[in-house]
């Protein structure tokens, strides 16, 4: 039997190296460790293949067999698109294996059950080589795993602007182009990302991020207020919430000015100082701004229950315009009004209030708070959530995969 998934280590958030040299050193060390790990576990490959055969046999009626190439650890503090998509595809009936980076300490080597039809796989890539009907989900930065696996079908998921990833730009661009040429199915998380590749891949499918609404509703219930919010609630101060990575894409100057314009509002920030930019901006030292640090997802939902309104105060540039924020739909699933800067992808969501300068943003907060109990607005939020679930996204992806004829087999040359 696969080992059960251990409790996650949530003591630390993600760390982003601050220089290209550090990124290259860490990348080299991880590649060297991975090579040594694979060589050290070569004797277990046949046993893992038998275990894989057994798991596939037990799930013979599940339909597609899907493999997510190593990306972010499953138990990372900030759950991301690969985790959400993998879980949703398994719940939609596929058999899903989520490969764990060899340097990750979240589980031991082998297969581990997460839930029915969904497994963590900390094994050498060759364990999956030669399997019939295997579809591999790849990203620009992990496409090198395709060569030893040789999957029958390849799905290229374009999840962000390439400049977001801490990898050498030339290598990423080359992998991106090769995946566009070779993938059987190309997905894009935002309209600008889809438009950028439509010339080469007119068949690209727009699959924006979404939400597990049941999870949010289950965990974002008001009970005993979190201690850090108790005094604000006693004072009756509106709570303006943001959760997620605090990085250079957050408009700290805008937030600081809005906080000064609305001293009666409490601004709550939850998430890691991803790249040191929060500390440099000093925003959390503003009197009505509180930074609570990184928290596990279930705990974040507990705070979300007490937000009066959610915000997306991002700077505007090509990277952020190509973002489909996960937190947007989490705010909405909890029934919260949302105020955002006019990001291209977010602007397509009609229930979001948009504002760019501090005065307009402050007025939008006022308007959003006034809409909290408006039945028409609340129904519009509910409909938006119904239209943007991971369940719906998974069904669309599986429908697209069904009946695909593979293009060219992925060659042994690394992408």
Q: In sequence order, what DSSP letters do the residues of 22-49 get, joined into one string? A: HHHHHHHHHHHHHHHHHHHTGGGHHHHH
Q: How far apart are CA 404 and CA 415, in angstroms?
A: 22
Q: Could you read off the pLDDT tens digit of each residue along the chain, which spans 415 residues?
A: 444 433 333 333 333 444 556 666 777 777 788 888 888 898 899 999 999 999 998 887 767 899 999 998 998 877 899 999 999 999 999 999 999 988 888 899 999 999 999 999 999 999 999 888 899 999 999 999 999 999 999 999 999 988 888 777 788 899 999 999 999 999 999 999 999 999 999 999 999 999 999 999 999 999 999 999 999 999 999 999 999 999 999 999 999 999 999 999 999 999 999 889 999 999 988 999 999 999 999 999 999 999 999 999 999 999 999 999 999 999 999 999 999 999 999 999 999 999 999 999 999 999 999 999 999 999 999 999 999 999 999 999 999 999 686 554 444 334 4
CATH T-level topology, domain 3-210: Rossmann fold (3.40.50)
How do the domains of the chain map onto residue ranges? 3-210, 216-388
Do the domains at 3-210 and 216-388 have one common CATH topology? yes
What does the alpha-carbon distance between residue 413 and residue 415 come to, in Å, rounded to a whole number? Answer: 6
311 in Cβ contact with 259 (< 8 Å): no
CATH number of 216-388: 3.40.50.2000
User: In 10 A of CB 73, how many CB atoms?
Assistant: 20
Name the pairing type of β-strands 118-122 and 110-115.
Answer: antiparallel
Residue recorded with tokens 């503090």: 77
């Amino acid at each position: 039997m696969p080992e059960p998934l251990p409790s996650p280590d949530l003591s630390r958030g993600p760390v982003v190296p601050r220089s290209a040299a550090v990124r290259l050193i860490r990348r080299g060390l991880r590649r060297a460790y991975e090579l040594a790990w694979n060589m050290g576990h070569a004797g277990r490959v046949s046993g893992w293949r038998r275990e894989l055969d057994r798991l596939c046999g037990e799930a013979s009626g599940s339909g597609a067999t899907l493999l997510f190439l190593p990306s972010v650890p499953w138990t990372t503090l900030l759950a991301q698109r690969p985790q959400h998509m993998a879980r949703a595809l398994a719940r939609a009936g596929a058999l899903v294996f989520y490969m764990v980076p060899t340097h990750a300490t979240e589980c031991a080597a082998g297969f581990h059950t997460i839930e029915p039809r969904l497994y963590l796989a900390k094994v050498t890539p060759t364990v999956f080589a030669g399997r019939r009907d295997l579809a591999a989900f790849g990203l620009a930065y992990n496409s090198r795993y395709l060569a030893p696996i040789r999957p029958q079908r390849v799905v290229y998921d374009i999840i962000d602007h390439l400049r977001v990833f801490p990898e050498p730009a030339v290598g990423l661009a080359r992998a991106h182009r090769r995946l566009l040429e070779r993938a059987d199915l190309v997905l894009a998380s935002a309209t600008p990302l889809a438009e950028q590749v439509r010339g080469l891949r007119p068949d690209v499918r727009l699959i924006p991020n979404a939400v597990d609404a049941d999870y949010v509703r289950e965990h974002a219930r008001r009970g005993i207020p979190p201690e850090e919010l108790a005094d604000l609630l006693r004072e009756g101060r509106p709570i303006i919430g943001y959760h997620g990575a605090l990085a250079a894409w957050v408009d700290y100057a805008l937030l600081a000015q809005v906080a000064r314009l609305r001293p009666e509002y409490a601004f709550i920030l939850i998430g890691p100082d991803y790249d040191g930019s929060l500390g440099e901006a000093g925003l959390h030292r503003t009197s009505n701004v509180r930074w609570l640090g990184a928290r596990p997802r279930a705990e974040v939902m507990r705070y979300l229950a007490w937000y009066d309104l959610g915000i997306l105060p991002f700077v505007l540039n090509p990277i952020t315009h190509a973002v489909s924020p996960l937190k947007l739909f989490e705010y909405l699933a909890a029934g919260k009004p949302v105020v955002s800067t006019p990001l291209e992808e977010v602007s397509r969501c009609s229930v979001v209030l948009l504002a760019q300068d501090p005065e307009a943003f402050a007025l939008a907060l006022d308007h959003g708070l006034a809409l909290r109990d408006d039945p028409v607005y609340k129904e519009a939020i509910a409909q938006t959530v119904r239209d943007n679930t991971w369940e719906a996204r998974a069904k669309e992806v599986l429908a697209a995969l069904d009946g695909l004829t593979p293009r060219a087999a992925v060659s042994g040359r690394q992408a």
